[in-house]
Amino acid sequence: MRFLQYLPALAAAGIEIEVQSLFDDATLSSKYQQGNYGLATVLQCFAKRISIMRKRQSFDLLWIEKEALPWWPLWLEKSMLQGIPYILDYDDAWFHNYDLHRLKIVRQLFGRRLDELMANATLVIGGNGYLTQRAQNAGAPWVEVLPTVIDLVRYPTPQLKYKIDTIPTVVWIGSPSTIRYLQILHKPLQQLAQRIPFQLRVIGGEIVIPGVNVHCLPWSEDTEVENIASADVGVMPLLDSPWERGKCGYKLIQYMACGLPVVASPIGVNTEIVRADVNGYLASNANDWVYALEKLLLDVDLRKQMGQMGRQRVEQEYCLQVAAPQLEAWLKRVAVES
Reduced to 3 DSSP states, what percent helix, strand and coil does the chain have, rounded to the nearest 5?
45, 15, 40
Q: Work out the number of other CB atoms within 10 angstroms of the CB of residue 88.
A: 25
CB 185 within 8 A of CB 292: no
- Give the global pTM: 0.92
Strand 123-126 versus strand 262-264 pairing type: unpaired
Q: List the chain domain ranges.
A: 4-18+59-149+320-337, 169-317
Q: What is the DSSP string of 260-304?
A: --EEE-S-TTHHHH--BTTTEEE--SHHHHHHHHHHHHH-HHHHH
Using the predicted structure, report yes or no on whether residue 162 has a pLDDT greater than 60: no
Give buried/exposed letters for 254-288 (b at 16+ CB in 10 A, else e): bbbbbbbbbbbbebbbbeebbbeeebbbbbeebeb
Separation between Cα atoms, residue 87 and residue 291, nearest integer Å: 44
CB 191 within 8 A of CB 290: yes
Using the predicted structure, report yes or no on whether residue 163 has a pLDDT greater than 70: no
Q: What is the pLDDT of residue 2?
A: 81
Using the predicted structure, report yes or no on whether residue 149 has a pLDDT greater than 90: yes
Q: What is the DSSP string of 196-265?
A: S--EEEEESS----TTS-EEEE---TTTHHHHHHTSSEEEE----SHHHHT---HHHHHHHHTT--EEE-
For residue 67, the SS3 value is coil
Separation between Cα atoms, residue 261 and residue 158, nearest integer Å: 12
Output 161 or 119, whichever has higher pLDDT: 119
**Per-residue pLDDT tens digits for 288-335:** 999 999 999 999 999 999 999 999 999 999 999 999 999 999 999 999
**Nearest Cα residue to 12 out of 335, 259, 328, 334:** 328
Separation between Cα atoms, residue 18 and residue 8, nearest integer Å: 12
Separation between Cα atoms, residue 75 and residue 113, nearest integer Å: 10
Domain 169-317: give its CATH architecture: 3-Layer(aba) Sandwich (3.40)
Separation between Cα atoms, residue 211 and residue 285, nearest integer Å: 20
Separation between Cα atoms, residue 314 and residue 137, nearest integer Å: 30
Using the predicted structure, report yes or no on whether residue 192 has a pLDDT greater than 60: yes
**Per-residue pLDDT tens digits for 48-64:** 999 999 999 999 999 99
Q: What is the pLDDT of residue 43?
A: 87
